[in-house]
Structure 1
Amino acid sequence: MPVISPTRAMERWTVRIDGSETVFSCAPIVEDHTAARALPRVWAGRGLGVPDVDLPGLVAALGEVMKTPAYWRARTPGSHRPGATSAWSRPRRDPEDGFVYLTGPCGRPTAGSGYRPVYSFSIDVAAVRDLRIRLTAYHRAV
C-alpha cells in the first residue's frame, strides 16, 4: 500500500493508495470535542464536504496522487470499476459552516444519510483528476 510522502503544500492531509482507492486523511487542528467541526464530511457514496481553509492542501494532495504509477494505471481504459470516474458536481460553499460541498463518488454507499465528520475518506484513483479540476477551478474563482 503506497503512502505519499507529505509535502508542505498538502498541509494537514496525508494520502495512501490502497488498490484502486485513494485514502485521504486530514489531521484535526485540535484533539477535543470541537475537532469534528473542522474535519471533512462525507455522505458515503454521494458526496464530500471540506472546510474551505483546507482546500489548497487537498488540491495539492490530489496533485501528488496524479504523479503516482497507480493513478496512471487507473486511467488506462478498462482498468477501473464502472462508475468510478463519475463526474463531481460543481463545488458550492455553505456560508454558515464554511464548508465547500460536492456530490460525487466519495466512499462506498451505506444506508446512512447526510454528511458525517470523518478522519479519512476514500476516492477511486480514477476519479481523482475530476475532483482536482473542480476544486482548483472553484478555488481560483473565489
Structure 2
Amino acid sequence: MYEIPPTAAMQRWSVSVDGFRAIFACAPWLEDPTADRVLPRLWPGRGLGVSDADTAGLAAAVAETMKAPSYWTASHRGGRSWQEQPWSVARRDHDEGFVYFAGPCGEPEPTAGYRPAYHLPLALRDLRGLRIRLAAYLRAARVPG
C-alpha cells in the first residue's frame, strides 16, 4: 500500500492505493460526536455522498490518484470504455448540503442506505468515470442559472 502525495487542492482528502483499489479518506471538520454529519457517506456497492464543500477536494484527490502508475495498470487491465459509465449524474440534496453519486463504491452488502464513513474504497478502473461526473457537477455548480 502506498500514499498519494497530498496537494493543496485535495484539501482534507488523503488517498492510499492498495492493489487495484484506492481508499479515499476525508478528515472530519469536527472532532466530536456530531462529526458524522460532515463525514462522507457510503452505501456499500451502490454509491457515495460527500459534503458540497468537499466535492472539489475529492475531484482533486481522484485526479492525483489517476496520475499513479497503478491507475494506468488497472485501467488497461479491466478499464471501462467511455460508453460503460458506472457513475450516475450528481444528485444534490439541498437540505443536507450533500452531493450523491450512485456507482461502484465499496463492496456490496445487504444493508440499505447511505451511512457516514471515514473511508471510501474505489476500484482504480472506476476513477475516470467518477472524475468526469465530479467535473461536470463542479462546472454546473459554478454556472449561474
TM-score, scaled relative to structure 2: 0.91
2:128 corresponds in structure 1 to 129
Gaps of 5+ in 2: none
CA apart distance, 1:30: 1.2
Q: Deviations over 1:57-105 (max 9, x none)?
A: 00000000110000100111xx2389xx751000010011000011000
User: Size of the alignment, in residue pairs?
Assistant: 138
2:118 corresponds in structure 1 to 119
2:96 corresponds in structure 1 to 97
CA contact (8 A) 1:93 1:99 kept: yes
CA contact (8 A) 2:79 2:126 kept: no
Aligned equivalents of 2:54, 2:31: Cα separation in 1: 17
Aligned partner of residue 110 in structure 1, secondary structure: coil
1:59 corresponds in structure 2 to 59
Gaps of 5+ in 1: none
Q: Deviations over 1:19-77 (max 9, x none)?
A: 1110000000111011000000000000100101001100000000110000100111x
CA contact (8 A) 1:86 1:104 kept: no
Whose helix proportion is higher, 1 or 2? 2
Could you tell me which amino acid in structure 1 is paired with residue 114 of structure 2?
Y
Could you tell me which amino acid in structure 2 is paired with residue 104 of structure 1?
G
CA apart distance, 1:2: 1.6
CA apart distance, 1:3: 0.6
RMSD: 1.4
Aligned partner of residue 34 in structure 1, secondary structure: helix
TM-score, scaled relative to structure 1: 0.93
Matched, 1:14 2:14: yes
2:105 corresponds in structure 1 to 106
1:141 corresponds in structure 2 to 140
Aligned equivalents of 1:80, 1:17: Cα separation in 2: 17
After superposition, the Cα gap between the structure-2 partners of 1:39 and 1:128, relative to the gap in structure 1 and judged at 3 Å, is same
Could you tell me which amino acid in structure 1 is paired with residue 108 of structure 2?
P
